[in-house]
Amino acid sequence: MQTAAAEKIVLKVGDTAPDFELTDQHRERVRLSDFQGAKNVVLAFFPLAFTSGCRTELQSYQSDISFFNENNTVVLAISVDAQPSQKTFAEELGAQYQFLSDWPDKEVSRRYGILSERGFAERHTFVIDKQGIIQRIDSGRDAIDITGAKSACSVLS
C-alpha cells in the first residue's frame, strides 16, 4: 500500500496544467480550458477564506487587477471553502475576479498536488500561459507576495 506522500502529485514549470471545472462565487461554472488560446491564468490557491494571510494575498490581486487585465491575464482564487463562503469573502475584498470553490470533493487541490493532510489547499500560485503550460509556481510566503506572478505575466504578455 502506498502512503499519501508517495501518491502526491508534483507539478513543475513546463507541465500542462490539469484542466478542471469549478463553481465561482456567483454559481457560474468555470473551466480552466475556457481560457486556453485567449488568456493567461493565475491560479491562486489559498488555504481558507477570512484568514489574515489569505486576505493579504487576495487584496493584493484586487489592488493590481488592472495590471493583470492589461497583461491579458485572468486571476482565479481557489480554496476548499464552500461557494457561500467564497461569495462573502470576495464581497468583503471587493474582488473583481473569480473565487472558485473546490468543495466538497477537493479534487482540483488534489490534482494540483497541494491538498494538505488537514484537508485544505496549501498556498500555491500557478501562472499558466495561453497554451495551458505552467510557467511559474510560487508557494507559501512566496505566494502571498504577488510580485512573482506579476513578473511572469509581464513576460507572457
3-state SS, residue 21: strand
The total of other beta-carbon atoms located within 10 Å of residue 145's CB is: 14
The DSSP string of 103-133 is TTT-HHHHHTT-B-TTSSBPPEEEEE-TTSB
From the list 54, 77, 108, 149, the catalytic residue is: 54
User: How far apart are the C-alpha atoms of 154 and 141, rounded to whole Å?
Assistant: 21
Look up residue 33 and give its DSSP letter. Answer: G
CA distances from 120 to 5, 30, 78, 80, 130 (A): 15, 20, 11, 6, 28
Nearest in space to 13 (alpha carbons), one of 145, 157, 138, 140: 138
Question: φ and ψ at 39, to 5 degrees?
Answer: -140, 150
54 is annotated as an active-site residue: yes
User: Catalytic residues, which ones?
Assistant: 54
